[in-house]
Amino acid sequence: MKLVHLNIFLLFTTVALCYENNTSLQHPLATPPLPESIKALFASGQDRIRCLMISTADIAYICEHYSKFYADKADDSVVVPLITCSKSTPIVATITASVALVRHLGSCNWINMYIQWSTYWSLNHASDTDLHAMSSNSVEFQRTKRRIIDFENDAWKPQLTPRKIQVSGSHFKLAGITVPPLIIFKKNTYEIEGGTFPAFFSTIGSYYNFTFQIDTNRFKEQGQGRKSANGTWSGVIGGLVRKEFDATFMGHQVSRYPYLFHSIPLYYDEAGFVVAQPAVHVSWYALVTPFTPLLWLFSFVALVAQMVTCYVILSVRIKMGQEHEQTKGNLIWNSWDIPYTICVEQGPDIPNCLIKLVLLWSVAWMIVTSGYKDKLLATLTFPELNFVPTKLRDLNEHPEYRILLEGFLISFRLNHSKNPDIEPLKHRLVLQDPKAVNSTKCVLAATTEENTVCMGFKPFLLMAVATNATINDDYVTSVMSDDILPQVHISVGLQKHSTVAVDFERMSSSYKESFLYEKSKESVMTTYKKIGKNWLNQGNPELQSKLQNIMDAQNGGLMKLTNRHFLVVYIFYVVSMPIATFVFAFELHIRKNHKNPRTNCPEPQNNSEVVTRVDESQEEKCSIVEVTENITILKEKLQGGKSSDMDKETEKTNIILRLIVHHYRPHNTVKSAEQIEREKWLLPGVRFNRWVLLPAAVVIQFCVGSLYAWSVFNHAVDLFIYGHNEFNMAPTTFYIACGFLGTAAAALGPWLERKGPLLACFVGITIFCSGHFLTALGIFLRQIWLVFFGYGVLGGIGTGLCYISPVSALQKWFPDRRGMASGFAVCGFGAGSIAVAKISIPLMESVGLPMTFVVLGSIHLVVMSTGALVLRTPPPDFVVNGMRSDGSLVSDAYDSNQYQFNMEETTRQEPTDGRLTLIESLTSKDFRLIFIMIMSNVLFGVCCFSRLSNMVTDIFGRSANEASTIVSINGGFNLGGRLLFATISDYLGRKSCYMIMLTIQLLVVACFSTVTSGKAYWAFIMSIWTVAMCYGGGFGTIPAYLTDRFGPQNTGPCHGVILVAWSLAGVGGGMIYITVFNIVIKYGYTASDPYPYNVNSWWILAFIAIGWICLLFISPTKKDIIFRENIRSLLSKVVR
């Protein structure tokens, strides 16, 4: 027998990751005897994807020993590999294996598995059609089909029948492991009322430790090996990670979960496996560990895309009365087989880029929720119980299985005259086979082609029932067969607190015939609640509580269990999406309607002498001088009131894009002679001096910095509103405020530049203080939503406006000392949290919690208004130390305290040579890199500083007073870093300072786990304080950096968008940190163990490294180049 080498791809999915005492990992797959090549792979102890060559003899050896092993160990915790080979690629067999690294293997029990044989033919035959005919009609093929349902004896066949795999000539056999369905139904539909059934089933499945069933789904109508086009949802999502996914899986489509349909070229193989899944080890952290970050993000994107698709189906197809072409009149939707054009043309008018934008930003939404859904990535199929239903009537004796029948509310073709317990279900049971009415057999399926089943539950988002098998009285064709019918999904997306209820009045006639339609709407909820109440008498208090909440559909069902988490997710998602939409819309508009002046300069009209063509046959090239002149000419045209090409193109676009472009348009600064004269004086008789702006900015930032002190109110607010702290709802306010801070700063930045810092700051003060007063009212009325809206929404918006207003003014008044000015502008923000935290507790004890916010709001109103009166912008001809407000040099120098004013009426400022417009700035490469770099710089501080007190007391066993002192000193280092790094950046360069800060953080965070594990207290303290300086330095230096790169006229808007990075780091990073921390605690670690903190430091370290790499590609300034050259010369001297 000639051995044929096969490409075997081993996909290691780590269901549970367990490192115990630094010992080697245990692999259940190594339990049976294995070839040496496989043993060597498992012995490596690594949990990543690998490829190797294995002969067909090895395949036969593995299958033979595994079959025997399963026959002997059917009730133990095992991993079942499913070996299949599609007819289009018979020589390429895909083995998908799962390495379950669990602490207690014996804790899992399995429903017995069943073996079904199928014959697969090689490519020696002519075509797929011939292959199908030969395999279906061959005597050997028919003989090897085995029934897994014994109709004569009314029983399942629980035994395993090991068969040796034979490899001969042109064909070979492979063993497939499948599980017989628990329920068989017709028309592939089920009733939904109120949406509580998916939640009910999810809770039952979670409590009874449901297993994964991981399997692929083939589309017969698409053909084998079909590459999904970009016009389908599969193509749209697959296009996002096509390159990465092909490199990982060598071009083979291997679906990890039924609801992730990856668009991969080359082959469309089947592969699947079933994995023992202990609930204690199911976690977001363990599931994502073996995979690349891009694949991890893609999984979330694909999952959310199904929800988006389902919404489009419900809103478009139902309203338009359309039906899927393959449903034959049934109300069935296929979430992944809907043409992309339908979603765009018949649905909302959304450009292609915004469709991808929704998918990408859904990642953030899923990351936040992932920690609160232990079964998020699971497909719930069959529970792991000690009971195995050897007879169908046993289902009635075990409510665990009865609830599967009741919870799904499927049209059941089930009848048994000897079983009276089935009678209560007959109002929903439809007997489709006339021969089965008086039969003593338990007929699970009729002979029609529609009697198919393979049910699965997509937790939290979707339910789906897919046709993956055909069943009749003679045999069962398993999911491994080539006779699989076209797949059909019924998907129901979430809406508010429940699933979308199907409109019964719009059902097709065939649907109404398949159910007892007149009883469906009235009886569904009644029957469900009756069964559910019976379940509540089973004696499990925890389960009873969860089921009772779910049964109460009026109170939100499953949403009620995690109300706070979903609120945080909703706020974060709603806040983030508009900002991302603005940025992507700008980029789309610029790319379509503009030529980048830095790379492809348009030739200005009537100024042909400006541009010099190097080569008529090549693309036009421009020097920096030419770029400057071209931009100047274009700006003059815009500012002169002439309609630009940009405006003409904008008129053709949709109204949203026109509003965005109009909002971020270039602004004209208009100052009359009277206003210029008035702004010369601070008070009557007191001349204005630019140095007065520094204390004014510190005062304003000091007040809005009280946002950092919100944690002081968490306990008091929860206690006042709820009477206890169990709900823990107050901390959500801080995350809402962080989200709206960045959103307001990004959205209102252009308005600030047009109206000036004085008006913008007063508007921000009004909103900020109004938020305090509304918070007091919400606490007094005991309404937490008013607190969220007052301090979270209004407080966040006011803080965002007040934060960027003084920064924008100072950058214009101090072109010669921008670093120092930006450091002073933001240092008050950190100081405010220290002061407010100290005075809040005594204030609450004196006047009560509601009046505390009234007092604080009133103080802020008076103090901030006084500081805001000082804010103003420089006059048009302002010059200081030989520099204009935009940083350009002039020939004549003036004393630093004397300014030249233009007393004539000015309609506009002279354009700054070489500066980008606001839209060009926001869509430039440097701005994107700076955005990522800032997020990386602040991530460790945002995540860890809030737990600094806990680390000191729990890990190192210090007192609470000492921890409080450490936190206060840490705040001082934060302030010092804002001033220190911002000031020295004037001499070293902005990029050089960020390189120093990120390098320090890389070293500190890399050593963090070593320091904490070794209990080196002072090393830990010094490390944290050093990071605090870098954290503050990032905030202090960024305004000057943005001014240098994009000009003072763009500082406010750019700084506002950059604050979104801080919001994302605070909300997204903070939630991930908490999620990972809680998951590690569930594994048996305690808060006093450094390991939960160390695990978080690892993923933060990766983000910091990404920021450090991004910084390398940011264009350096002149000072950065000089500093770099000085370092090189110094090193060369040392070497010599």
Residue range 364-386, pLDDT digits in tens: 444 444 433 332 222 222 222 22
The residue with greater pLDDT, 1069 or 136, is 1069
pLDDT at residue number 541:
59
The residue with greater pLDDT, 461 or 138, is 138
pLDDT at residue number 1135:
62
Q: With a cut of 80, say whether residue 410 has pLDDT above it.
A: no
pLDDT at residue number 113:
21
Model confidence pTM above 0.85:
no
pLDDT at residue number 857:
87
Residue 296: Cβ within 10 Å count: 18
Residue range 21-41, pLDDT digits in tens: 222 323 333 333 444 554 454
pLDDT at residue number 572:
47
The Cα–Cα gap between 93 and 270 comes to 9
Q: φ and ψ at 944, to 5 degrees?
A: -95, -30
The Cα–Cα gap between 262 and 267 comes to 12
> Are 160 and 151 spatial neighbours (Cβ–Cβ below 8 Å)?
no
pLDDT at residue number 290:
35
Mean of the pLDDT values across residues 778-788?
85
The Cα–Cα gap between 101 and 14 comes to 7
> Are 466 and 171 spatial neighbours (Cβ–Cβ below 8 Å)?
no
Beta strands in 179-222 (DSSP E): 185-190, 210-214
Q: Which of 379-388, 466-475, 741-750 tops mean pLDDT?
A: 741-750
3-state DSSP of 924-975: CHHHHHHHHHHHHHHHHHHHHHHHHHHHHHHHCCCCHHHHHHHHHHHHHHHH
pLDDT at residue number 666:
60
527 pLDDT band (50/70/90 cuts)?
very low
The Cα–Cα gap between 194 and 407 comes to 13
pLDDT at residue number 1017:
86
> Are 993 and 1116 spatial neighbours (Cβ–Cβ below 8 Å)?
no
The residue with greater pLDDT, 1097 or 332, is 1097
Q: Which letter, b or e, does each residue of 1107-1133 get, where b requires 16 or more Cβ atoms within 10 Å of its Cβ?
A: bbebbeebebbebbeebbeeeeeeeee
Q: With a cut of 50, say whether residue 524 has pLDDT above it.
A: no
pLDDT at residue number 829:
78
Tell me the average pLDDT of the chain. 52
The Cα–Cα gap between 499 and 191 comes to 12
Which residues have a Cβ under 8 Å from the Cβ of 564 and sit 6 or more positions away?
727, 728, 729, 732
pLDDT at residue number 949:
74
Mean of the pLDDT values across residues 680-691?
76
> Are 116 and 160 spatial neighbours (Cβ–Cβ below 8 Å)?
no
The Cα–Cα gap between 160 and 155 comes to 15
The residue with greater pLDDT, 1097 or 712, is 1097
889 pLDDT band (50/70/90 cuts)?
low
3-state DSSP of 82-105: EEECCCCCCCCCEEECCCCCCCCH
Mean of the pLDDT values across residues 723-730?
67
The Cα–Cα gap between 553 and 555 comes to 5
> Are 465 and 188 spatial neighbours (Cβ–Cβ below 8 Å)?
yes
CATH architecture of 924-1136: Up-down Bundle (1.20)
Q: With a cut of 70, say whether residue 954 has pLDDT above it.
A: yes
CA 490-494-499 angle, 5° bins? 70
Q: With a cut of 80, say whether residue 788 has pLDDT above it.
A: yes
724 pLDDT band (50/70/90 cuts)?
low
Mean of the pLDDT values across residues 602-611?
37
Write down the domain spans for the chain. 5-370, 924-1136
Measure the N-to-C terminal CA separation of the chain; round to a whole number of Å. 71
3-state DSSP of 145-196: CCCCEECCCCEECCCCCCCCCCEECCEEEEEEEECCCCCCEEEEEECCCCCH
Mean of the pLDDT values across residues 758-777?
88
726 pLDDT band (50/70/90 cuts)?
low
CA-wise closest residue to 211 among 100, 117, 347: 100
Residue range 825-841, pLDDT digits in tens: 777 777 777 777 778 77
Q: With a cut of 50, say whether residue 873 has pLDDT above it.
A: yes
The Cα–Cα gap between 374 and 367 comes to 13
820 pLDDT band (50/70/90 cuts)?
confident
Which residues have a Cβ under 8 Å from the Cβ of 246 and sit 6 or more positions away?
264, 265
Q: With a cut of 50, say whether residue 886 has pLDDT above it.
A: yes
The Cα–Cα gap between 235 and 263 comes to 6
Picking from 90-99, 600-609, 893-902, which range would have the lowest pLDDT averaged per residue?
90-99
pLDDT at residue number 1:
21
> Are 384 and 163 spatial neighbours (Cβ–Cβ below 8 Å)?
no
Residue range 220-266, pLDDT digits in tens: 333 333 333 333 333 333 333 322 222 222 222 222 222 222 222 22
- Token couple for 560: 């009620």
User: Angle of helix 711-722 relative to helix 849-868, nearest 10 degrees?
Assistant: 140
Q: With a cut of 70, say whether residue 387 has pLDDT above it.
A: no
Q: With a cut of 60, say whether residue 543 has pLDDT above it.
A: no
Residue 739, burial from CB neighbour count under 10 angstroms (0-12, 13-18, 19+): buried
